[in-house]
Amino acid sequence: MRGFDLQRSGTVPRENDFFKVFGPAFKRNARWSVNTRVLDLGDRTRRYYNFWYAFKSWREFPEEEEHDLEEADSREEKRWMERENARKTQKARKEEYARIRTLVDNAYKKDPRIVKRKEEEKAKKQAKKDEKVMAKKKLEEEAAAAIEEEKRRKEEEAKLAAEAAQQQKKLCDKMENKEGLKLAKVLKNGNNDETESEEEEVVEAKHNGHVKANGFATQSPRAAAMV
Query: Is the CB of residue 4 less than 8 Å from the CB of residue 22?
Result: yes
Q: Report the distance separating Cα 157 and Cα 114, nearest Å.
A: 63
Give me the pLDDT at residue 146, please.
94
The rounded mean pLDDT for the chain is 79
* pLDDT band (50, 70, 90) for residue 5: very low
Mean pLDDT across 183-199 = 66
Neighbours of 30 (CB within 10 A): 18
Query: Is the CB of residue 108 less than 8 Å from the CB of residue 100?
Result: no
Higher local confidence (pLDDT), 192 or 140? 140
Q: Report the distance separating Cα 152 and Cα 140, nearest Å.
A: 18
CA quadruple 13, 17, 23, 25: dihedral positive or negative? negative
Mean pLDDT across 62-75 = 70
* pLDDT band (50, 70, 90) for residue 1: very low
Q: What burial class does residue 10 get, using C-beta atoms within 10 Å of its C-beta: 0-12 exposed, 13-18 middle, 19+ buried?
A: exposed
Q: Which residues contact 61 (CB under 8 A, 6 or more apart)?
A: 88, 89, 92, 93, 96
* pLDDT band (50, 70, 90) for residue 99: very high
